[in-house]
Amino acid sequence: MAANLHKVVYEPLTKSCLSMCPSNYAINANNYPLTCHLCNPGMVYSPLQNKCVCQPGTYLSPSNSSCLPCGPNCATCSPTSPSTCYSCLDQIPLINNHCGCANGQYLTSQGCSNCSAECETCAAPSGLCLTCNKNKYCYELTCQCVSGWFDSRIKDCGICSPRCLTCSRNNPCLSCQSGLQRTMINGSCLCKSGYY
């Protein structure tokens, strides 16, 4: 009979004895009989800790009365600095106390995926470029080489000859720099007649 008494808890709202507390209630094990206590909104009962705790992605406010949101994608965070994450939600990596992907990656439902080689940063869902690697600029969400540079088909742009305004990987010069008194002849910028 004594073993059954330890399984009985008192629920003060209904003033009844129960075999266990309802969900979102915590057991006050310091009292006898054991008493059920309703968790505050946004909190859940943790049987492992035997108390009400904040749900993942939130932290207990300094007044201990409510749960406040952590920083983006944080499962647990510092109560004094909520953007400082201790752990992350949904398999998101923790990098320098922040939940998210490293530069050159974007977040998908499967985790972090690499941006295309020309992107410095990109965004979901398909890795569209937001910023580009050096000597490239973003135009309509793709990276293009700036004037005086050509697409080398690798991460960075190749530089054109100093006399060329535009060039390509296969053509050393497509147009000449203005003001240099040069003209395009067979893919090269040569001095105009009368100039050297």
pLDDT tens track for 186-195:
777 888 877 7
Nearest to 92, CA basis, from 76, 105, 115, 73: 73
Where does the pLDDT of residue 70 fall: very low under 50, low under 70, confident under 90, or very high at 90 and above?
very high
As a whole number, mean pLDDT of residues 165-178 equals 79
More confident of the two residues 39 and 88? 88
The token pair that represents 68 in the structure block = 């406040």
Going by DSSP bridges, is the β-strand pair 34-38/9-11 parallel, antiparallel, or unpaired?
parallel
Q: Which helix (H) or strand (E) holds 109?
A: none
pLDDT at 173: 81
Where does the pLDDT of residue 3 fall: very low under 50, low under 70, confident under 90, or very high at 90 and above?
very low
Report the distance separating Cα 163 and Cα 81, nearest Å: 54
82-123: pLDDT as tens digits: 999 999 988 788 989 999 888 888 888 777 888 887 788 888
Rounded to the nearest angstrom, the gap between the alpha carbon of residue 111 and the centroid of all alpha carbons in its chain is 10
Report the distance separating Cα 66 and Cα 60, nearest Å: 6
Q: Is 181 helix (H, G, I), strand (E, B) or coil?
A: coil
**β-pair partners for 183:** 190
Residue linked to tokens 């006898």: 32
- Taking the alpha carbons at both ends of the chain, their separation in whole angstroms is 111
Q: Which domains does the chain have, with CATH numbers?
A: 1-52 (no CATH), 55-100 (no CATH), 118-191 (2.10.220)
pLDDT of 130 over the 50 cut: yes
pLDDT at 53: 86
As a whole number, mean pLDDT of residues 28-44 equals 77
